[in-house]
């Protein structure tokens, strides 16, 4: 008889998960952003294969050089990657990508072991004083696991490779260090035969000069035929190499402990097999570093008899005499520790911390703690990473600004692939004050300190929001949001940029309220968004004026003569001002007209009355309104101006007339020579396009658009869309030809 699904055990498992989750600190699972003072997580890799075991080094310019293994599978517990190829990327001190992730090319063909899979162990990296990067790792593509050593430039180009460091038996887990003289120190675990059947690893050491040539012979650090593994290497200021490693003293039991040895600059063992830990569990995966006083700091994972893992720390002040300090405090396992030491002698430690582990469900994050020189925990365990399913193992470095950078592999769902995959992530922290973004606002390059601003319709402004109050050089504006409120309507402009800028043009009058909010590289936002009120109005018109009585002054009409050729007359007549002057030259000369009789002429009286009613009117405006031809109008205007009833001023291409005694207002529109030329072209070629105007005057299309915009704003031209073509026409186009007798009073002038 078939049985139904067994819900009892499944329900029990999930109840246990809920209980464990509820027991965790409230800020662990709810965190969606990095803790204060840390950057957001930055994804480094995006390929379809897994990426594992990152390691990093920082150069003198504070660029971060990152290496990792890319392969078809990863065995994290045994620290190896199936078909693992070495990859590289470079980030500048601002966290910007300088060299995108790339597979390193070595210039040689690796022999394959019958075309099958090979296995690689994690890389280790060091920087020399001559700005060279040294990287070591091991893989088995030659048939046995071999330690490789390469040297790269600061651009990630391989310029040296050495694959002959180890012999025919398997060698794995190399570590590297470079001393003050540029010499390269290597250590690794190598499997040797015990009798004829079994293989057990021992620890070996080798030294190379800055050029990569081997110095002396390799040193056999251990010769116990037990199980010496996972060595960690550091070099002191006296050029002595120090190695801490796992040693299983009672193989095949599970009592791995940490041991220590020291090799002098000549390659001799000064200290052999000094025991560091003595616990009931197993001490594994050490990481070591020297402080500026040449005191060796050690961290490791300690496995309790029941299998729970914790992170411990010690200082090797005197071999054989040490204490241990527990660093992790989580309810689940902590492992894969890494450490760095700052100039204040504080030890900074990162590791992988499981949040919960029930049945086969595991969730882990990268955690961080800080220990002072007096062994006091300065900063208790804090979660750094906040996404993904499994985060391990981390790499840890510090730059010249004491910024700490951590990188790790993270198992997350890739939306493009639709499945979980291992990728490399990193984030960094800044030592010191990390202030929220400043609410500074600049308008057209000037700091806005408060108050209101007046603008006109058509004005353009450039808004800029910055973060100058934060002293951290790495911290920059990462996101911005401008909100504009006009007559109750809201418009938003937002995005990601190095500079939070917005170009805006006012297209209608009203009171504009601008708010700006910014977010920095650490995810912090300004608490008080900057606001500015801008009053936008139409451009002001000239103020009305009062017409004053004109003094009656007698004048004498001066004689003149015509002296221009027909060609010159045509050129002068090409503009309104030129037509007016040319018409005056053709008017017959009269000896004298009494001023008191000047206005007796009907037409002249009409012209004078029009100018009194519309001060500032121009030649074409009078001509079209009173329906006069050029010769007649020019004749009477000259009479009125000679007898000081009116006065004229030039306004670009126009001649404007005002009653005598009236203060002439300041002109708002003054055309440039190019604008006058464009206007004349449009006058003589109605319906011309912008492209055709550009061809006539020989300037760019955007420049023509600008000049036509000025003319349109002055109501001198209009635009008409005909199909897909935009055509331009001049307003108040003057007559093309004049009919004026050369030796008579123009017809209809009436003296």
The per-residue pLDDT for 440 is 65
Alpha-carbon separation of residue 562 from 579, 589, 742 (angstroms): 14, 10, 10
| Encoded tokens for 433 | 């004050």
Q: Which domains does the chain have, with CATH numbers?
A: 12-429 (2.120.10.10), 441-537 (2.60.40.10), 673-730 (1.10.10.10)
Q: pLDDT of 698-714, one tens digit each? A: 887 767 877 887 788 77
Q: Which ranges of the chain have pLDDT less than 50? A: 1-30, 113, 433, 471-474, 496-498, 545-574, 581-593, 733-751
Q: C-alpha angle with apex 651: 646 to 654, nearest 5 degrees?
A: 80
The per-residue pLDDT for 31 is 53
Q: Report how far residue 604's alpha carbon sits from residue 636's, in angstroms, rounded to the nearest whole number.
A: 6
Which pTM does this prediction carry? Answer: 0.59
Q: pLDDT of 189-226, one tens digit each? A: 998 766 555 678 899 999 999 999 999 889 999 987 67
Contact 536, 456 (CB under 8 A): yes
Q: Report how far residue 436's alpha carbon sits from residue 558's, in angstroms, rounded to the nearest whole number.
A: 79
The per-residue pLDDT for 141 is 84
Determine which helix (DSSP H) or strand (DSSP E) holds 634, and give its type and residue range: helix 630-642
- What values do phi and psi take at 742, rounded to 5? -75, -20
Q: Is 553 in a helix, a strand, or coil?
A: coil
The per-residue pLDDT for 320 is 60
Contact 678, 711 (CB under 8 A): yes
Q: Report how far residue 584's alpha carbon sits from residue 746's, in angstroms, rounded to the nearest whole number.
A: 11
Q: Report how far residue 225's alpha carbon sits from residue 384's, in angstroms, rounded to the nearest whole number.
A: 41
Q: Report how far residue 426's alpha carbon sits from residue 173's, in angstroms, rounded to the nearest whole number.
A: 23
The per-residue pLDDT for 401 is 77
- Helix locations, 489-601, DSSP H: 566-572, 576-586
Contact 31, 383 (CB under 8 A): yes
| Encoded tokens for 641 | 């101006």
The per-residue pLDDT for 412 is 86
């Amino acid at each position: 008889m078939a049985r139904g699904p067994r819900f009892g055990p499944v329900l029990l498992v999930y109840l246990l998960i809920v209980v464990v989750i509820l027991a965790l600190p409230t800020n662990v699972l709810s965190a969606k952003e990095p803790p204060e003072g840390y950057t957001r997580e930055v994804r480094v890799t995006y390929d379809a294969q897994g990426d594992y075991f990152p390691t990093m080094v920082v150069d003198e310019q504070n660029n971060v050089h990152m290496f990792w293994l890319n392969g078809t599978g990863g065995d994290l517990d045994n620290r190896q990657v199936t078909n693992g190829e070495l990859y590289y990327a470079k980030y500048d001190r601002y966290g910007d990508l300088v060299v995108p992730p790339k597979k390193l090319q070595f210039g040689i063909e690796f022999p394959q072991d019958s075309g099958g899979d090979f296995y690689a162990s994690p890389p280790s990296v060091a920087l020399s004083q001559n700005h060279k990067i040294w990287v070591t790792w091991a893989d088995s593509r030659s048939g046995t696991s071999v330690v490789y050593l390469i040297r790269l430039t600061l651009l990630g180009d391989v310029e040296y490779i050495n694959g002959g460091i180890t012999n025919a038996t398997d060698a794995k887990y190399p570590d590297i260090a470079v001393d003050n003289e540029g010499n390269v120190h290597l250590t690794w675990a190598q499997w040797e035969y015990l009798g004829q059947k079994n293989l057990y690893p021992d620890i070996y050491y080798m030294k190379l000069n800055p050029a990569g040539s081997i110095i002396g012979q390799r040193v056999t650090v251990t010769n116990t035929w037990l199980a010496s593994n996972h060595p960690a290497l550091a070099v002191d200021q006296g050029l002595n190499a120090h190695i801490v490693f796992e040693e299983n003293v009672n193989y095949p039991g599970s009592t791995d402990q940490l041991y220590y040895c020291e090799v002098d600059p000549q390659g001799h063992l000064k200290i052999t097999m000094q025991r560091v830990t003595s616990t009931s569990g197993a001490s594994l995966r050490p990481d070591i570093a020297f402080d500026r006083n040449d005191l060796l700091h050690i961290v490791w994972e300690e496995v309790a008899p029941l299998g729970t893992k914790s992170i411990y720390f010690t200082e090797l002040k005197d071999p054989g005499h040490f204490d241990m300090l527990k660093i992790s405090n989580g309810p689940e396992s902590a492992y894969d520790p890494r450490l760095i030491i700052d100039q204040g002698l504080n030890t900074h430690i990162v590791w992988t911390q499981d949040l919960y582990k029930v049945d086969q469900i595991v969730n882990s994050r990268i955690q961080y703690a800080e220990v002072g020189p007096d062994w006091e925990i300065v900063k208790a365990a804090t979660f750094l990473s906040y996404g993904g399913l499994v985060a391990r193992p981390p790499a840890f470095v510090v730059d010249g600004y004491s910024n700490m950078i951590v990188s790790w592999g993270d198992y997350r769902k890739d939306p493009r692939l639709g499945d979980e995959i291992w990728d490399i992530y990193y984030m960094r922290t800044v030592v010191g004050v990390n202030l929220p973004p400043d609410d500074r606002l600049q308008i057209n390059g000037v700091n806005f300190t408060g108050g209101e601003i007046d603008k006109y319709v058509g004005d353009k402004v450039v808004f800029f929001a910055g973060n100058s109050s934060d002293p951290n050089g790495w911290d920059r504006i990462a996101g911005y949001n401008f909100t504009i409120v006009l007559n109750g309507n809201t418009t938003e402009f937002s995005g990601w940029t190095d500079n939070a800028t917005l170009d805006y043009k006012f297209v209608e009058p009203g009171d504009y309220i601008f708010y700006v909010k910014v977010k920095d590289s650490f995810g912090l936002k300004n608490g008080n968004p900057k606001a500015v009120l801008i009053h936008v109005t139409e451009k002001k018109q000239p103020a009305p004026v009062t017409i004053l009585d004109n003094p009656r002054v007698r004048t004498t009409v001066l004689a003149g003569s015509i002296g221009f050729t027909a060609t010159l007359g045509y050129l002068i007549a090409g503009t309104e001002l030129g037509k007016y002057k040319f018409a005056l030259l053709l008017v017959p000369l009269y000896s004298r007209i009494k001023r008191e009789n000047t206005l007796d002429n009907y037409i002249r009286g009409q012209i004078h009355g029009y100018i009194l009613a519309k001060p500032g009117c121009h030649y074409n405006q009078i001509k079209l309104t009173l329906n006069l031809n050029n010769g007649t109008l020019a004749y009477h205007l000259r009479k009125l101006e000679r007898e000081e009833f009116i006065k004229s001023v030039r306004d670009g291409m126009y001649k404007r007339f005002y009653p005598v005694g009236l203060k002439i207002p300041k002109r708002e529109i003054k055309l440039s020579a190019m604008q006058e030329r464009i206007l004349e072209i449009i006058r003589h070629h109605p319906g011309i396009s912008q492209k055709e105007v550009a061809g006539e005057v020989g300037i760019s299309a955007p420049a023509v658009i600008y000049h036509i915009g000025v003319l349109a704003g002055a109501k001198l031209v209009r635009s008409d869309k005909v199909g897909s073509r935009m055509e331009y026409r001049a307003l108040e186009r003057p007559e093309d030809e004049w009919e004026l007798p050369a030796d008579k009073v123009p017809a209809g002038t009436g003296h």
